[in-house]
Chains A and B, each alone.
Chain A
Amino acid sequence: MERFEKADTNYPNPQNTGSEKTGTEKPGVITMINGPVVRGSGMSHFAMRELVQVGELGLTGEILQMDGDTSIIQVYEDTTGVRVGEPIRGLGRPLSVCLGPGLLGHIIDGIGRPLDRLMEAEGGFLARGTHLDPIDMGRSWEVTPLCKVGDTVSPGMAVAAVKETDLIENRVVVPRGVEGEVEFIAAPGYYRTSDPVARVRGASGVTPVMMYHYWPVRTPRPYKERLLPDEPLITGQRVIDGLFPISKGGVAAIPGGFGTGKTVTQHQLAKWSDARVVVYIGCGERGNEMTQVLEEFPSLEDPYSKKPLMQRTILIANTSNMPVAAREASIYTGITIAEYYRDMGYDVAMMADSTSRWAEALRELSGRLGEIPAEEGFPAYLATRLAEFYERAGKVRTFGDQTASISVIGAVSPPGGDFTEPVTRHTKRFIRCFWALDASLAHARHFPAISWTDSYSEYAEEVEDWYHQHVDPSWSALRGEARAVLAEDDTVQQTIRLMGEDVLPDSQRLVALTASLLKNGYLQQNSFSQDSFCPPEKGIMILKMILDFHNQAKKLVAGGCPLSLIRRMKELIELTHVRELAADDKAGFESLAKRLRERLAKVGSERLAGGGEEEAEPAPAPAQEGRGV
Chain B
Amino acid sequence: MAALTEYTGIDKINGPIVMLKGIPGVGYDEVVEILPPGGGEARLGRAVMIGEDAVMVQVFAGTEGLVPATSRARFLGRPLEIALSPSILGRTFDGLGRPLDGSGPIYSDIKRNINGSPMNPMARVYPRDFINTGFSTIDVLMTLIRGQKLPIFSGNGLPHNQLAIQIASQARLVGTENFAVVFAGVGIKHDDAAAFASSLSRRGTNLVLFQNLADDPVIERIATPRYALTAAEYLAFDLGMHVLVIITDITSYCEALRELSVSRGEIPSRKGYPSYLYSDLASLYERAGVLKGKEGSITFLPILTMPNDDITNPVPDQTGFITEGQIVLSRELDARGVYPPIDPLPSLSRLMKDGIGKGYTREDHPSVSSQLFACYSRVQEVKALAEVVGGDELGDEDKAYLAFGEAFEKTYINQAKDENRDIGLSLDMSWKLLASLPASALTRISMEDMEKYIKPNQPNRQGPAEDAPAGKAAAAV
Name A's B-contacting residues (CB within 8 A). Answer: 31-35, 39, 78-85, 107, 115-116, 118-119, 122-127, 257-259, 263, 282, 284, 286-288, 290-292, 294-296, 317, 319-322, 324, 357, 360, 363-364, 367, 373, 376-377, 413, 415-418, 440, 443-446, 496-502, 520-521, 524, 526, 528, 568, 570, 572-574, 576-577, 580, 617-627
Q: Is the CB of A286 within 8 A of B122?
A: no
Residues of B close to A415: CB separation below 8 A: 270, 312, 314, 317-318
Residues of A close to B443: CB separation below 8 A: 520-521, 524, 576-577, 622-623, 625
Question: A-B contact count, CB below 8 Å?
Answer: 268
Q: Is the CB of A568 within 8 A of B346?
A: no
A320 to B318, CA, bound (A): 11
A34 to B466, CA, bound (A): 71
Residues of B close to A500: CB separation below 8 A: 385, 389, 393-395, 398
A524 to B321, CA, bound (A): 24
Name the residue on A nearest B400 (C-beta).
Answer: A620
Name the one of A81, A107, A294, A577 contacting B447, with C-beta atoms under 8 angstroms.
Answer: A577
Residues of A close to B116: CB separation below 8 A: 125
Q: Is the CB of A443 within 8 A of B377?
A: yes
A32-B52, A259-B320 given as contacts; is B30 within 8 A of A126 (CB)?
Answer: no
Residues of B close to A376: CB separation below 8 A: 269-270
Q: Cβ of B115 < 8 Å from any Cβ of A? A: yes
Q: Is the CB of A119 within 8 A of B118?
A: no
Name B's A-contacting residues (CB within 8 A). Answer: 1, 24-30, 49-52, 79, 113, 115-127, 147, 237, 266-270, 275-276, 278-279, 282-283, 285-287, 289, 291-294, 312, 314, 317-318, 320-322, 324-326, 345-346, 348, 350-351, 353-354, 366, 370, 373-375, 377-378, 381, 384-385, 388-389, 393-398, 438-444, 446-447, 463-466, 469-471
A528 to B377, CA, bound (A): 21
A377 to B273, CA, bound (A): 11
Nearest-CB distance from B266 to chain A (Å)?
6
A324-B276, A528-B366 given as contacts; is B118 within 8 A of A288 (CB)?
Answer: no
A125-B120, A618-B396 given as contacts; is B446 within 8 A of A580 (CB)?
Answer: yes
A533 to B270, CA, bound (A): 40
A289 to B370, CA, bound (A): 22
A321 to B470, CA, bound (A): 52
A319-B118, A364-B276 given as contacts; is B389 within 8 A of A499 (CB)?
Answer: yes
Q: Is the CB of B440 within 8 A of A33?
A: no
Residues of A close to B29: CB separation below 8 A: 79-81
Name the residue on A nearest B394 (C-beta).
Answer: A500
Residues of B close to A499: CB separation below 8 A: 388-389
Residues of B close to A360: CB separation below 8 A: 275, 278-279
Name the residue on B nearest A117 (C-beta).
Answer: B122
A622 to B192, CA, bound (A): 49
A321 to B281, CA, bound (A): 8
Name the residue on B nearest A85 (C-beta).
Answer: B25
A294-B122, A324-B276 given as contacts; is B374 within 8 A of A446 (CB)?
Answer: yes
Residues of A close to B322: CB separation below 8 A: 286, 320
Residues of A close to B353: CB separation below 8 A: 528
Q: Is the CB of A119 within 8 A of B312?
A: no
Q: Is the CB of B321 within 8 A of A322?
A: no
A200 to B28, CA, bound (A): 51
Nearest-CB distance from A82 to chain B (Å)?
5
A622 to B442, CA, bound (A): 8
5 more A-B contacts (CB under 8 A) besides A321-B285, A623-B374? A124-B123, A321-B286, A445-B374, A497-B381, A573-B440
A287-B124, A444-B377, A528-B366 given as contacts; is B438 within 8 A of A620 (CB)?
Answer: yes
A526 to B282, CA, bound (A): 30
Q: Is the CB of A367 within 8 A of B378?
A: no
A39 to B49, CA, bound (A): 12
Closest 8 CB pairs of A and B: A416-B312, A320-B282, A258-B320, A444-B377, A321-B286, A620-B438, A124-B123, A125-B117
A484 to B279, CA, bound (A): 44
Name which of A83, A287, A377, A444 has the most chain B CB atoms within 10 A of its CB. Answer: A287
Residues of A close to B381: CB separation below 8 A: 497, 627
Name the one of A85, A258, A377, A572 contacting B24, with C-beta atoms under 8 angstroms.
Answer: A85
Name the one of B286, B374, B394, B441 contacting A287, with C-beta atoms under 8 angstroms.
Answer: B286
Q: Is the CB of A443 within 8 A of B471?
A: no
Q: Is the CB of B469 within 8 A of A618?
A: yes
A124-B123, A288-B324, A618-B471 given as contacts; is B117 within 8 A of A84 (CB)?
Answer: no
Nearest-CB distance from A291 to chain B (Å)?
4
Q: Is the CB of B470 within 8 A of A288?
A: no
Q: Is the CB of B464 within 8 A of A570?
A: yes
Name the one of A258, A373, A498, A521 contacting B321, with C-beta atoms under 8 angstroms.
Answer: A258
Q: Is the CB of B278 within 8 A of A291?
A: no
Residues of B close to A577: CB separation below 8 A: 443, 446-447
Q: Is the CB of A443 within 8 A of B373?
A: yes
Residues of B close to A319: CB separation below 8 A: 118, 121, 282, 286
Nearest-CB distance from B222 to chain A (Å)?
14
Q: Is the CB of B79 within 8 A of A81?
A: yes
Residues of A close to B345: CB separation below 8 A: 443-444
A206 to B123, CA, bound (A): 45
Residues of B close to A524: CB separation below 8 A: 443
Q: Is the CB of B28 within 8 A of A124?
A: no
Q: Is the CB of B115 within 8 A of A80?
A: yes
A568 to B468, CA, bound (A): 12
Q: Is the CB of B28 within 8 A of A79?
A: yes
Residues of A close to B314: CB separation below 8 A: 415
Name the residue on B nearest A568 (C-beta).
Answer: B466
Nearest-CB distance from B383 to chain A (Å)?
11
Name which of A125, A499, A501 has the most chain B CB atoms within 10 A of its CB. Answer: A125
A617 to B472, CA, bound (A): 13
Name the residue on A nearest B313 (C-beta).
Answer: A416
Name which of B113, B123, B314, B324 has the most chain A CB atoms within 10 A of its CB. Answer: B123
A367-B275, A497-B384 given as contacts; is B282 within 8 A of A321 (CB)?
Answer: yes
A288 to B147, CA, bound (A): 10
